Structure 1
């Protein structure tokens, strides 16, 4: 059993160690120096002061601090290359082999703030189009609403809000993977239609859950990744105006330098047929894939703080689909200009089987890349 004097000395030494641990890094004791100081306190002559013993141990273990710092730097360096930090689940598509592309760069920036309660992480592009015109507005679905279809305007406003949140804080199966929940809202507003009280002509809701992972495959010096998800999309309406579908998808990603591409095939989850047209149960739009297709192919390129992108859909059996081109450019602070052209079927769910050409001009609140 330790004597009272020895116990008192050790207690004093621990208090001193605690004090010195709060000083600058140049004055901190390494673990080995701390053990040395405790041993010296027990065995040293009673005339020796704590400061003398401490100086002796610092001199004896002078090289330990640099070695320990080097070991910590090595660990940090390895972690930044191979594993995500604790404050976010996804490090990017680059893995250990190649430099980051534009998708990885975006993911790393999002990771710094995605767990911040005051920050909402964007998913798809967030934008407001005060003006979006069409070569011909689709009036057929509204034929049963008296005084509505003839007053629909070819020019309207549109906006999209799209956010996501991580459902995991650590790797699940492979290094750098993550599980997300996302929600996208699109709205078409007949703000210029005075005779029908400026209604929202159509609103689409799109919740989804997806799993995202990088791949250790780097063709042509780029990086790859893949995501798997399930999503529901509907317009929240009933009876003859109701439109909806559910699908399971895979999304293959490729980035190289300032360019990024994705290929997203999907499979629609079947629904039962309606027993009669106004039946609340059953499939509202059984032929939707004839017009919306079975996949999406898209790409984006970043150039001098401007972004050019495209998305396309196709059903090879019916030869129906759509293509969209978009361009964003800096305006002021975080606000960007946004111009878009769409041609084909399915610009909204109510128009899934209606072909038109739309041109829009407005503001983007987030980037794609």
Structure 2
């Protein structure tokens, strides 16, 4: 409880300092907001060559994440519970995410395409659970390979910026009965208008229905596509991520909201709210709502 109170104090201190230092959406000159072209080096003027580390998805740590229904007894569809008795997990834990990408091939295929490698890792850490020796409840590893091509068109004021295709692997690196992994071929499409960026990513799962499938029907719960709408202004970011199974019978999915606001340079306060299935892989078929408070470190 002492560590929990300390973490709560730190988070409240960060939020209080930021709100005192600036009004909502007040300009902060040290914050640089990246366009889609700058993030993915789409235009010739933004090309930076290969094998340079770049930010990818949000890079954050949430010292406090609370779940209204923590998963104490993981269970795959069609299987028995992984453990005979529920695990005594606490509803409050730490969550963090690391994410970066690097270009491995520039201007291939008639000089138009770039090939990127990405890596994202998320962790749910029961750091306040002294009774269980503060274990990592779940670690997810997500490497991917993405071919991106620039676009130039306008529809209703939105500028088409890029299209691509990628191979995505996600796993938790655990042994049975709590092993979880899947492979996907993902399409990438993005448009931009003023301070708005919109990403659309439908995907096709590879290897569904095999005898070695350790998370059957994951696409029916986590989804078959996602839409990510991002609004950025003066260092503030509002991010709405929606995933859906695209099923008319039993429609599942999730929605996640992130709000990041500037504190100093690239340091931001971070609020995250999630509701639905698949907060992580071990919870792919587990419905919950989570609220997290913390900090983000870089623009993505």
Q: Per the shorter chain, which TM-score range?
A: 0.7 to 0.9
Aligned residue runs from structure 1 range 352-367, under 5 A: 352-367=284-299
Q: Which residue of 2 aligns with 1:334?
A: 266
Could you tell me whether the CA contact under 8 Å between 1:114 and 1:121 is conserved in 2? Answer: no
**Distance change >3 Å, CA 272–CA 196, structure 1 → 2:** same
Q: Which residue of 1 aligns with 2:72?
A: 139
Q: Tell me which protein shows more strand as a share of its residues.
A: 2
Q: Which residue of 1 aligns with 2:201?
A: 264
TM-score by length of 1: 0.65
Query: Helix, strand or coil for the counterpart of 1:217?
Result: strand
Offset of residue 223 of structure 1: 2.4
Matched, 1:297 2:227: yes
Offset of residue 292 of structure 1: 1.1
Matched, 1:246 2:183: yes
Matched, 1:193 2:124: no
Q: How many residues align?
A: 258
Q: Which residue of 2 aligns with 1:347?
A: 279
Query: Helix, strand or coil for the counterpart of 1:366?
Result: coil
Distance 1:125 1:144 in 2: 31
Deviation string, structure 1 residues 56-96 (Cα, Å, up to 9, x no partner):
xxxxxxxxxxxxxxxxxxxxxxxxxxxxxxxxxxxxxxxxx
Query: Helix, strand or coil for the counterpart of 1:242?
Result: coil
> Quick check: which has more Rg, 1 or 2?
1
Could you tell me whether the CA contact under 8 Å between 1:141 and 1:240 is conserved in 2? Answer: no
5+ long unaligned stretches in structure 2: 1-33, 76-80
Could you tell me whether the CA contact under 8 Å between 1:114 and 1:120 is conserved in 2? Answer: no
RMSD between superposed Cα atoms in Å: 2.4
Q: Which residue of 2 aligns with 1:149?
A: 87
Distance 1:127 1:113 in 2: 25
Matched, 1:218 2:154: yes
Matched, 1:306 2:236: yes
Aligned match for 1:172, one of 88, 102, 108: 108
- RCO (CA 8 Å, sep 6+): is it higher in 1 or 2? 2
Aligned match for 1:231, one of 161, 168, 184: 168
Distance 1:346 1:114 in 2: 36
**Distance change >3 Å, CA 242–CA 307, structure 1 → 2:** same
Deviation string, structure 1 residues 216-271 (Cα, Å, up to 9, x no partner):
32223432211100111010011110111001010110011111101111000024
Offset of residue 139 of structure 1: 0.7
TM-score by length of 2: 0.80
**Distance change >3 Å, CA 307–CA 339, structure 1 → 2:** same
Offset of residue 153 of structure 1: 0.6
